[in-house]
Chain A
Amino acid sequence: MLGYPAHFGQMECVRMIASPRYSEKRVGYLGAMMLLDEKQDASLLITNSIKNDLSNSNQYIQSLALCTLACMGSAEMCRDLAPEIDRLLRASNSYIKKKAALCAVHIVRKVHDLGELFTKAARSLLTEKNHGVVHGAVVLITELCERNSETLERFRKTVPDLVQIMKGLVISGYSPDHDVAGISDPFLQVRILRLLRILGRNNEAASDAMNDLLAQVATNTDSTKTVGNAVLYETVLTVLDIKSESGLRVLAVNILGRFLLNNDRNIRYIAMTSLQKIVGTDHNAVQRHRGTIVDCLKDQDASVKRRALELSLALVSASNIRSMMKELLSFLSSCPPELRSQTASGIFNAAERYAPSQRWHIDTILHVLTTAGGDVRDETVPNLIQLITNTSELHCYTVHKLYRALLSDISQQPLVQVACWCIGEYGDLLLRGECQETEPVQVHRAQQTLVFPSANSDCDPVNPLTAPLSLHNSTPDSRIRSIVSIYGSCIDVELQQRAVEYNALFKKYDHMRAAVLERMPVIEKNSQGHTNGETIKESQTVKVKPGEPQQPANQVCDLLDLLGGSEQPLQPSPALGSAAPPIPVSTPNTVGGDLLDLLGGLEPTPITPVATVTVYEKDGVTVTLGCEKQSDSGLTVTLTASNSTESDIRGFTLQAAVPKSVQLHMKAPSGDSLPARGAAKVTQMVVLNNPNKVNLKMRLRISYTSQGSAVQDTVQIDSFPGLGQ
């Protein structure tokens, strides 16, 4: 009670409840409601007292008992006392009937089966004159109908009665008892409307009976006060939910529109909440109010802003994209931080669907990145890069804009990443294009300043180092080489690794450098949204088991992503699997193989598979999958590969990608070469953790070298054996 433990009071309560005097009983029951709840054992002790009190002649004592039961009755107590409650529902005293009705509601909520006990009584209660009783009865019926669809059918017959009651309330004159600001008993009206809504859902006959009534309520109710608006709101919700005729629906949407223009913030908020529900079906009707909704974006209340944002994003269409985007962008610069990422992703989606021109699209995305770059999702960076490569005529324009943006503000990480990549790829355009006076030295200085902050923060250091490299290709400059070699002794391990590799590229493989660092080909657009983004992320974040052996695999993956694409002009593109991966990758067998040699061999880890199934079989290479459930959400998958061809297979690697909420942990493979004719197998264990129990899928990328040519394939695994789903 108020945070302090109050166990001392419990036995006192029990004692007091049992006493015959009313005042003591009252305190006892009050204490019981406050201190006892279902979990306490002392509550069982009062069951008998409540039972006796329910049959007491004094109605106030009865009401006390009812209150307590309704407040904290446990399931057993409810079961014991349900027949008593039923008896009381038929009692003559309306005061008791009211309480009994609501007590019955509580019982039904606690113990669903007891609902049938009350249906008959509930029906008869509807015909009472006392508003309180009718109110209780309506609540009880609502509760019963929500739980059980049979009762729902039975109560459909009461629709005419309910309509009658409502009519009485709406048309009848002034009734001082239940009047609130000029509307007779709005609470009862709201309740009845809600029940009508439940009864009329998906039912033509019932809905027809209600149509007139709803129209009448909608037009007659006075909407200057909050109560009136409450009733109107409930009416609108009912109209939209049942199978009403179109005229009525138009009326409902108009009422919502009127709400939107209201000065009271509350009313605007609930109007937008309901509009959101119908924007899918009655899109045109909501479009009419687009102007007001967009104005609400500037409201000071955060929840109103959120609703307005969601609605605006839903209302964006091809015709109004430009004006809406202007509003949304100005909102982005002034919106509260918790809404930023939602706005950003909404803007991206809308831009993607309805962009009138590529240039506009790129402009919009750049604007978003400069204002709210820190809050955008990770997959926007690859998407943007892909978009830029697709619009070849705008390369020059894009890279200039990015360079300018970068000069002014370097803190936004996605912007930095995109800019680095672009400058690296199209650096020559930058120098050749408009700003011809920009000397190369400025660009390199920009690169230098780029790498320093990114090395200090924990963003991906790969990009900044790669960009100068590509730039070097087009505009050779010795300074780049010196920058890169500085990082050979950097503290950050990844940065250092890269720098060393690139240095090696300069020294040992100078003849290959030009080809390796050629411009990237156009990235194919793929339709599978997040799994492909996932593939990039997964291959970059494949967890490293402590120890060196895993590093080669990690590096190979990264290298594949960055350098592999440019190798395509060198080798004929291999037959790719079912879906085109985001960046066409081919095994750089020379570069990759050398690096593997540079950094040591791999540790073998023999494992025995369980419940295997063959997932890939082509050109003599077979991959089987076995899985074993470790825990409720954990799964160990074992991939085994074997080779039945006449020649050996080298450089065999497996990469896996899984849906977003699943965590993936790849252990070291047992080896990377498959000798001919199935002499030995390669096994690799993958540990998956599926806490959200989503449908488990995995995409596997298999790459190897056979008879001097590189093969790379992708296979999707949708069903896992032994999962028991």
Chain B
Amino acid sequence: MLSTTGKTRLAKWYMQFDDDEKQKLIEEVHAVVTVRDAKHTNFVEFRNFKIIYRRYAGLYFCICVDVTDNNLAYLEGIHNFVEVLNEYFHNVCELDLVFNFYKVYTVVDEMFLAGEIRETSQTKVLKQLLMLQSLE
């Protein structure tokens, strides 16, 4: 998740990278994604992967997948994720994500795991999240 100013709000890695490699990757992704506007497709070829991204207000949600994966499905996955965030935080805005980042990570873990989409039902995810919240 990148803001338009280039700040990383959330980064989840499912593959092994060094710290400086990670930083470089983030910069490259930002450089590629922010120059594209609405006229462009939501898919970019990046090294030997694809980036599927979508812009919501001031944030870019990017997922980096293999070339063989279905683009549109992951685009929908992004949208699903954003809808869950919206429900959970009640009309989410960027500040919510910044201040409650650990909760956002929990949501990510609920929905994506080991690099794949895990749970697709929004109601189930929300139920889980509420349970976890009650444990604290």
Give residues in A with beta carbon < 8 Å to B: 2-3, 5, 22-23, 26-27, 30, 33, 37-39, 60, 67, 70-71, 95, 98-99, 102-103, 105-106, 109, 131-132, 135-136, 139, 176-178, 180, 185-188, 190, 194, 226-227, 229-230, 233-234, 237, 265-267, 269-270, 300-304
Question: Cβ of A177 and Cβ of B123 under 8 Å apart?
Answer: yes
Please give the distance in Å from A378's CB to the nearest CB on chain B: 27
Name the prevailing secondary structure of the B interface residues.
mixed
Question: Assuming A177-B123, A226-B72, is B41 touching A269 (CB within 8 A)?
Answer: yes
Q: Kindly state whether residue B88 has any CB partner on chain A within 8 Å.
A: no
Q: Collect the chain B residues with CB atoms within 8 Å of residue A194's CB.
A: 70
Question: Assuming A194-B70, A269-B41, is B75 touching A30 (CB within 8 A)?
Answer: no
Question: Assuming A226-B72, A229-B72, A266-B71, is B116 touching A185 (CB within 8 A)?
Answer: no
Question: Assuming A23-B136, A266-B75, A300-B39, is B23 touching A3 (CB within 8 A)?
Answer: yes
Question: Cβ of B43 and Cβ of A269 under 8 Å apart?
Answer: yes
Question: Cβ of B76 and Cβ of A71 under 8 Å apart?
Answer: no
Closest to B113 in A: A102
Name the prevailing secondary structure of the A interface residues.
helix
With contacts A30-B105, A39-B16 known, what are 9 further pairs, Cβ within 8 A? A37-B17, A70-B114, A71-B14, A71-B113, A99-B113, A105-B114, A132-B124, A135-B118, A135-B119
Please give the distance in Å from B110's CB to the nearest CB on chain A: 9
Q: Collect the chain B residues with CB atoms within 8 Å of residue A185's CB.
A: 120-121
Report how far A488 CA is from B61 CA in the complex, Å.
65
Q: Collect the chain B residues with CB atoms within 8 Å of residue A176's CB.
A: 123
> Size range of the interface on B?
35 or more
Within 8 A of A (CB), among B98-119: 102, 105, 109, 113-119
Report how far A564 CA is from B82 CA in the complex, Å.
73
Report how far A139 CA is from B115 CA in the complex, Å.
11
Report how far A491 CA is from B26 CA in the complex, Å.
49
Please give the distance in Å from A279's CB to the nearest CB on chain B: 18
Number of A-B residue pairs, CB cutoff 8 Å, is: 130
Please give the distance in Å from A48's CB to the nearest CB on chain B: 22
Q: Kindly state whether residue B80 has any CB partner on chain A within 8 Å.
A: yes
Question: Cβ of B113 and Cβ of A67 under 8 Å apart?
Answer: yes
Report how far A136 CA is from B112 CA in the complex, Å.
11
Q: Collect the chain A residues with CB atoms within 8 Å of residue B124's CB.
A: 132, 177
Question: Cβ of B114 and Cβ of A226 under 8 Å apart?
Answer: no
Report how far A109 CA is from B102 CA in the complex, Å.
27
Q: Collect the chain B residues with CB atoms within 8 Å of residue A190's CB.
A: 70, 73
Question: Cβ of B40 and Cβ of A103 under 8 Å apart?
Answer: no
Q: Collect the chain B residues with CB atoms within 8 Å of residue A39's CB.
A: 16, 18
Report how far A301 CA is from B19 CA in the complex, Å.
33
Within 8 A of A (CB), among B67-91: 70-73, 75-77, 80
Q: Kindly state whether residue B128 has any CB partner on chain A within 8 Å.
A: yes
Question: Cβ of B102 and Cβ of A30 under 8 Å apart?
Answer: yes
Question: Cβ of B120 and Cβ of A131 under 8 Å apart?
Answer: yes
Question: Cβ of A301 and Cβ of B41 under 8 Å apart?
Answer: yes
Report how far A226 CA is from B73 CA in the complex, Å.
8
Please give the distance in Å from A392's CB to the nearest CB on chain B: 47
Shortest Cβ-Cβ A-B pairs, 7 listed: A230-B72, A106-B114, A102-B113, A70-B114, A301-B40, A102-B114, A187-B120
Question: Cβ of A233 and Cβ of B14 under 8 Å apart?
Answer: no
Question: Cβ of A266 and Cβ of B120 under 8 Å apart?
Answer: no
23 A-B pairs (CB sep. < 8 Å): A3-B23, A23-B135, A27-B102, A33-B105, A38-B16, A71-B12, A102-B113, A103-B114, A132-B118, A132-B120, A132-B121, A135-B117, A136-B118, A178-B120, A185-B121, A187-B73, A187-B80, A187-B120, A229-B72, A230-B76, A237-B70, A265-B41, A303-B44
Q: Collect the chain A residues with CB atoms within 8 Å of residue B118's CB.
A: 98-99, 102, 132, 135-136
